[in-house]
Amino acid sequence: MLKPASEYGVVGVAVVLLALSGCGSSSGGSDGDDPTPTRAAAKDKGPVCVGSAPADGVHVLRGGGFRLPGGGGVRYVAADADGTSRTATLGDGAVYTSGGRQWNVRPGTELTVSGHGYTVRQICSYRVVLEPKSAEDGDALAAAPKSRKATGGSADAGLCFTTNRSVLDTAAKGFPAEDETLSVLDNGGVQRFPTGLSLTVSYVDSAAGTAGLGANCAAVGVAAYKDVRLGDSVEFAGVLFKVSELTEEAVRLKRTSA
């Protein structure tokens, strides 16, 4: 079974989404190993989101990474909320490497990744949204991919790490319609989608009422949502869901965005 990406290991296809808007969530922590819960996880104190997301922003999903123009990348490593404010820890690189730089950020924080500038515009429990400073980087992120057909592995980078509206629309059409439910089975299998995204359930802890979801795309763990609860929001390929049911057999996600 493919595992969600982490600071200590690579995630299973899913990319992360991860990964990886609306707002709701899993509890804090970094993109660490596959969790095997032994106690009830602490509930995120909120607020779910702070700041405003631009329409063409880069969505870096909780526990996952995103490849950026120029060969760099960034990961949403950890979240912190105290009931009135929210911050995040971002890591340099779409995948973990020993000794990599980290940033503690809030909306308005500016950072430079591989020589390219970005501004943090929104922090949610399930994502961080970045805005490129240069028009050139914005254009690179929105460029149409060479192929719109997913083949698997790193060749799908143009489908997985993009703000291109056509690609995101294709990804959105691969999920159930708004207000309908996506079931991700807890059987070690991988659920695949048209733009190269794959989802897995890493665990369900019925006693604690929590579960773990992983996403992988273009050989990068794009999301690793730990300890999600009923009502929490998660995002995959630009589409928002709320956790609507947790059973030993599946995690069910109700689509909440168009």
- The dihedral through the CA atoms of 29, 35, 41, 45 has a sign that is positive
Residue % of the chain over a pLDDT of 70: 84
The answer to whether residue 109 scores a pLDDT higher than 60 is yes
Which DSSP letter does residue 218 get? T
Q: What was the pLDDT predicted at 189?
A: 81
Q: What was the pLDDT predicted at 40?
A: 58
For the record, the structure tokens of 197 come out as 């995204």
Out of 36-45, 70-79, 87-96, 196-205, pick the least confident: 36-45
The answer to whether residue 13 scores a pLDDT higher than 60 is no
- If one compares 178 and 6, the residue with the highest pLDDT of the two is 178
The answer to whether residue 1 scores a pLDDT higher than 80 is no
The answer to whether residue 26 scores a pLDDT higher than 70 is no
Give residue 249's identity as a one-letter amino acid code.
Answer: E
Considering all CA atoms of the chain, what is the largest pairwise distance in Å, rounded to the nearest integer? 50
185-222: per-residue pLDDT in tens?
Answer: 998 789 999 999 999 999 999 899 999 999 999 999 99
The size of the chain, in residues, is 258
Cβ-count burial of 59 within 10 angstroms (0-12 exposed, 13-18 middle, 19+ buried)? buried
- Give the 3-state secondary structure of residue 167: helix
In the predicted model, what is the mean pLDDT of residues 54-68? 97
The answer to whether residue 107 scores a pLDDT higher than 70 is yes
What is the rounded average pLDDT for all residues in the chain? 87
